Amino acid sequence: MLKRISALILAGATALTMAGCSSSSGGSGGSSGGGADDGKLVMGFAQVGAESGWRTANTKDIQESAKAAGIELKFSDAQQKQENQIKAIRSYIQQKVDVIAFSPVVESGWDTVLKEAQNAKIPVILTDRAVDSKDTSLYKTFLGSDFVEEGKKAGQWLVDQYKDSKDDVNIVQLEGTTGSAPANDRKAGFQQVISADPKFKIIASQSGDFTRAKGKEVMEAFLKSNPKIDVLYAHNDDMGLGAIEAIEGAGKVPGKDIKIITVDAVHDGMQALADGKINFIVECSPLLGTQLMDLAKKVVKGEQVPQRVVTEETTFTQEQAKEALPNRKY
Ligand code: GYE
């Protein structure tokens, strides 16, 4: 019976994901106090949400990689709410999954639930985003990008771009989800590089929650209250794409009247870059699935893994985007 339920869950995984629900029934038995009836390793994955093109690509990659690795995936979508992620993690603990992986929506407030997983002897892997827990034994490893480095790359492009100009450069910033690692770090890295020259002035900075709709809304407000904006730095492509609509709506030309830098390099962002509406994109790869499944197998076996696994990434100019677009996987 349980086997049939598991099969049904697997078959319905995609539908459940689309509906933003977590799968309910768990396996029982198995070697490490949990796991599927058929001996398959079971992973509970608590995703942030479906806020951006990056996230959609990340979810798809994790689901496909689990399948390819023969791992049974229980997947939940927290709709960008920490309380939903905590609930999902608790349900995975109750279901005695073999390993829990999650992408923490914000950095703070995870110690209690991570302790619960540790007490239940279920290893935890952080993917994509970090937590600020002092006790690093609460998770086995953290797989994802170096967001400070991404912010620095964005800042460096700007410094190079304006190296011959003495005039002030007025910058507006669309920040990611408040309290999230990528928002904190992309802001800090960028600030660090541009602060070397006082002509770079961040005249407005606000969260657009990593979504297109919020990016548009906040950019509209920026445009209303700031007559002279030279540069927009958006912490992801989606907010940048929303802002482009606002800029065009205000009768300005994105990429020319206002230079735009974003992070991610998802397909729609790369298209806008190739079309000249964005000027520079710092890549952040969502394709973490294969590495995650490898790490999961190792930690379940009790093998040592590095505390930190950093994703390799590049940057794109408009010309480079034109070349890269046909072969882009996301
Ligand atoms: O840049 C953004 C998404 O955590 C790296 O989250 C991820 C970020 C990504 O919503 O588009």
Query: What SS3 state is found at 16?
Result: helix
In a domain, 61, yes or no: yes
The first and second tokens of residue 217, run together, are 């809304």
Summarize pLDDT for 110-126 with one digit per residue, the tens.
999 999 999 999 999 99
Mutate to test the pocket of ligand 1, among 54, 56, 102, 103 (most ligand atoms within 8 A of CB): 54
In a domain, 325, yes or no: no
Summarize pLDDT for 34-50 with one digit per residue, the tens.
566 677 999 999 999 99
Question: Partners of 75 in the beta sheet?
Answer: 45
For the Cβ of 209 lying below 6 angstroms from any atom of ligand 1, the answer is no
Percent of the chain residues past pLDDT 70, beyond the cut: 89
Count of structural domains within the chain: 2
Q: Can you list the alpha helix ranges (DSSP code H) found in 138-211?
A: 147-161, 181-194
- Is the pLDDT at 168 greater than 50? The verdict is yes
Question: What average pLDDT does the segment 151-171 reach?
Answer: 97
The first and second tokens of residue 111, run together, are 């110690």
In single-letter form, the type of residue at position 247 comes to: I
Question: What average pLDDT does the segment 75-83 reach?
Answer: 98
In the predicted model, what is the mean pLDDT of the chain? 91
Ligand 1 centre and the CA of 227: distance in Å?
A: 30
| Report field, pTM of the whole predicted structure over 0.85 | yes
Burial class (CB in 10 A: 0-12, 13-18, 19+), 108: exposed
The first and second tokens of residue 267, run together, are 């397909």
For the Cβ of 182 lying below 6 angstroms from any atom of ligand 1, the answer is yes
In a domain, 34, yes or no: yes
Give 254's contacts (C-beta < 8 A, 6+ positions apart). Answer: 243, 244, 247, 248, 260, 277, 278
Higher pLDDT, 241 or 14: 241
The whole-number pLDDT of residue 30 equals 36
Domain that holds residue 80: 5-145+286-312
The whole-number pLDDT of residue 39 equals 79
Question: What average pLDDT does the segment 81-98 reach?
Answer: 98
Question: What average pLDDT does the segment 131-160 reach?
Answer: 98
Query: What SS3 state is found at 242?
Result: helix
Regarding whether 294 and 252 lie in a shared domain, the answer is no
Summarize pLDDT for 282-323 with one digit per residue, the tens.
999 999 999 999 999 999 999 999 999 999 999 999 999 999
Question: What average pLDDT does the segment 252-279 reach?
Answer: 98
Regarding whether 195 and 111 lie in a shared domain, the answer is no
Cα within 13 Å of Cα(117), Cβ side:
28
Cβ–Cβ under 8 Å, residues 205 and 236? no
The whole-number pLDDT of residue 29 equals 35
Regarding whether 117 and 99 lie in a shared domain, the answer is yes
How far apart (Å, rounded) are the C-alpha atoms in residues 126 and 117? 13
Question: In this structure, what CATH number is given to the domain that contains residue 63?
Answer: 3.40.50.2300
